[in-house]
A and B are shown apart, each in its own frame.
Chain A
């Protein structure tokens, strides 16, 4: 049981949240069932846009799952005290997001009934098959890590297990980025940049998720985040958001420099209708400029501003992934360079894609699964970060928290 008292009002609010989560999850499972019955014909996906909205959700959650564990790593591996108290919550969120993301990914398969095949037949040249190992290993390692963190007798093993988890999740996100990085034929992908870019994206998105959950838990318990901790966490988020923008910019700049990629870049950044709009407005303004402003503007930087910044980082994440995954596929393959191609199978044409309701519900269902795991986990076990406040207010002798530090 958590260390704080539960009031009856708490209980009814808790059950309302669980009910809401279950409702959305059920809608998602219903959407899966309908798609399984009718086939993907009822989705917006087709033979050109083969990965759609479910993949935007799934990849967001899997990337954020890896990143949210960063909070625990900073505590366990790099020894920062304020992050140590946050490690259990960080581990729980990692498991929740990974579970939700994998759920969406698996339920979107053409033959989800055959999922056992993915465990019995491996093609070791496939980065997808590596990821099957990386994802299942991640579950095991994080579960072990949580045990070490939460069982007092096991606390002494936190550092080595935390270190393994830290390395594992870097490899895991490298694997996720490489799903796209290894695609040689498409202009949008096929770059070694994508692996580190996905890692830095995971840091930003994971921390944003953590901040939102933490602020909700603090509000629930009538607690406030200590200003010193707030400052550190918001600055860290700011650094990650800026670093993500740097990687995205470098990726596009490199493409712009290659003459053969210029048409694609023009499409995705200027001419491609909905995609440039989502990229600049969704990722550029909402996902990057706005959170940086909320975090670093001298008049802002409050706990509420950090939560708002985190929400906008997540909106930006969806925008970026939508443009990256769907916009990247919409651009036609150049099978015969130097020629304009046309056919009855969409050659030479920008592919159309309209997300369908079942796809959206499936994606939201995965989010609901993550939400439920988090809500129930937080309720039954002690995940609330409780800071030893006097040590900040007193002499300020906390060795890891010098007053004028920035970032971690």
Chain B
């Protein structure tokens, strides 16, 4: 199943380069070899601070017994299905029950892609970093595996790779001894595709888009309904917002 047929995401390439050639390379992306794209000689498009990627999770639409997003995440990023506390989990379903009223709900929780990420502040080598478009990532080339970011993250969004890995997705490198977390499927995003979880959600409970663009679907929705940030008291300005909590 290819994501190429999905409703068009405000693709970064198209957004910035605007050229037909760029749009073509988006359409061609699945299955194409990079060396062939290279021959196109187009100017590279880079992550831009004009964009801030974000996600709105609608708890009123998220079904408690559905974990399609988790499955999609694990498949896309070649993660094991978390069974042991040492297994990585980039995206998880959390069941919530209001302590006073007993109201139950269920939401996916992952890296919240904070504007002021604690993990980036504490990282001694700068391996934990925020891309210009707001995506918080780990640079595994310089991650030394100290796990300080895991101590600092309020969302338990990071996992440590406890054992050797051999079956990586070629687009999603990951290996023993480094810390990792949700990348917002940056490898898909950079080719104009939606994150795997958003695409997989059967209930349209996950809305993805550019928080900086006032006309984007997500910005319009955020203006229309009441939303909240997880641990808003910490003032981290998360990129992931929740409705119905």
Contact of B121 with A by CB under 8 A: yes
User: In the complex, which of the residues B89, B126, B146, B160 has the most CB atoms of chain A within 10 Å of its own CB atom?
Assistant: B146
A335 touches B230 (CB 8 A): yes
Contact of B203 with A by CB under 8 A: no
Give chain A residues whose Cβ lies under 8 Å from the Cβ of B151.
50-51, 183, 186, 189, 329
B144 touches A115 (CB 8 A): yes
Q: With A110-B144, A114-B142, A179-B148 in contact, is A39–B89 under 8 Å at CB? A: no
Give chain B residues whose Cβ lies under 8 Å from the Cβ of A213.
none
Which residues 106-127 of B have a CB within 8 angstroms of A?
109, 118, 120-127
Give the nearest-CB partner of B139 in chain A: A121
Give chain A residues whose Cβ lies under 8 Å from the Cβ of B100.
338
Distance in angstroms from B72 CB to nearest chain A CB is 16
Distance in angstroms from A343 CB to nearest chain B CB is 4
Q: How far is the CA of A182 from the CA of B151 in the complex (A)?
A: 10
Which of B86, B93, B121, B142 is the one whose CB lies under 8 Å from A126?
Answer: B121
B122 touches A182 (CB 8 A): yes
Q: With A185-B231, A339-B99 in contact, is A47–B85 under 8 Å at CB? A: yes
Q: Could you tell me how many residues of chain B have their Cβ less than 8 Å away from some Cβ of chain A? A: 56
Distance in angstroms from A48 CB to nearest chain B CB is 6
Distance in angstroms from B29 CB to nearest chain A CB is 32
> 1/0 per residue B138-164: CB within 8 Å of A?
000011111110111111101111111
Of the candidate stretches B18-26, B175-183, B213-221, the one touching chain A is B175-183
> 1/0 per residue A171-206: CB within 8 Å of B?
000000001001111100100000000000000000
Give the nearest-CB partner of B178 in chain A: A110
Which residues 113-130 of A have a CB within 8 angstroms of B?
114-115, 117-118, 121-123, 125-129
Of the candidate stretches A215-223, A344-352, A358-366, A371-379, the one touching chain B is A344-352
A129 touches B124 (CB 8 A): yes
Distance in angstroms from B152 CB to nearest chain A CB is 6
Give the nearest-CB partner of B93 in chain A: A343
Which of A47, A51, A132, A343 is the one whose CB lies under 8 Å from B95?
Answer: A343
Q: How far is the CA of A342 from the CA of B148 in the complex (A)?
A: 24
Q: With A47-B88, A51-B151, A127-B122 in contact, is A338–B94 under 8 Å at CB? A: no
A123 touches B154 (CB 8 A): no
Contact of A333 with B by CB under 8 A: yes
The A contact surface, by secondary structure, is loop
> 1/0 per residue B76-98: CB within 8 Å of A?
00000010111111001111111
Contact of B222 with A by CB under 8 A: no
The B contact surface, by secondary structure, is loop
Q: With A335-B156, A343-B95 in contact, is A51–B234 under 8 Å at CB? A: no
B163 touches A38 (CB 8 A): yes
Q: With A47-B89, A341-B95, A341-B96 in contact, is A39–B124 under 8 Å at CB? A: no
Distance in angstroms from B221 CB to nearest chain A CB is 21
Contact of A336 with B by CB under 8 A: yes
Give chain A residues whose Cβ lies under 8 Å from the Cβ of B144.
109-112, 114-115, 117-118
B118 touches A39 (CB 8 A): no
B96 touches A110 (CB 8 A): no
Q: Could you tell me how many residues of chain A have their Cβ less than 8 Å away from some Cβ of chain B? A: 51
B177 touches A345 (CB 8 A): no
Q: How far is the CA of A127 from the CA of B95 in the complex (A)?
A: 35
Q: How far is the CA of A373 from the CA of B92 in the complex (A)?
A: 48
Distance in angstroms from B85 CB to nearest chain A CB is 4
Which residues 27-56 of A have a CB within 8 angstroms of B?
38-41, 45-48, 50-51
B152 touches A185 (CB 8 A): yes
Q: With A111-B144, A339-B97 in contact, is A39–B177 under 8 Å at CB? A: yes
Give the nearest-CB partner of A130 in chain B: B124
Q: How far is the CA of A118 from the CA of B146 in the complex (A)?
A: 10
Contact of B51 with A by CB under 8 A: no
Which of B120, B123, B155 is the one whose CB lies under 8 Å from A333?
Answer: B155
Contact of A340 with B by CB under 8 A: yes
Contact of B17 with A by CB under 8 A: no
Q: With A343-B95, A345-B89 in contact, is A184–B234 under 8 Å at CB? A: yes
Give the nearest-CB partner of B101 in chain A: A338
B123 touches A117 (CB 8 A): no
Q: With A117-B125, A118-B124, A338-B98 in contact, is A41–B86 under 8 Å at CB? A: yes
Distance in angstroms from B40 CB to nearest chain A CB is 33
Contact of B245 with A by CB under 8 A: yes
Q: With A51-B151, A132-B124, A185-B231 in contact, is A46–B85 under 8 Å at CB? A: yes
Q: With A47-B150, A335-B94 in contact, is A122–B82 under 8 Å at CB? A: no
B94 touches A342 (CB 8 A): yes
B94 touches A347 (CB 8 A): yes
Q: How far is the CA of A345 from the CA of B89 in the complex (A)?
A: 7
Give chain A residues whose Cβ lies under 8 Å from the Cβ of B154.
184-185, 333, 335
Q: How far is the CA of A11 from the CA of B19 in the complex (A)?
A: 82
> 1/0 per residue A311-340: CB within 8 Å of B?
000000000000000000100010111111
Q: How far is the CA of A121 from the CA of B129 in the complex (A)?
A: 13
B163 touches A50 (CB 8 A): no
B234 touches A185 (CB 8 A): yes
A48 touches B99 (CB 8 A): no
Q: How far is the CA of A39 from the CA of B176 in the complex (A)?
A: 6
List 8 A-B pairs, minimum CB-CB distance, nearest first.
Answer: A110-B145, A185-B154, A110-B177, A128-B124, A46-B85, A123-B126, A339-B96, A41-B162
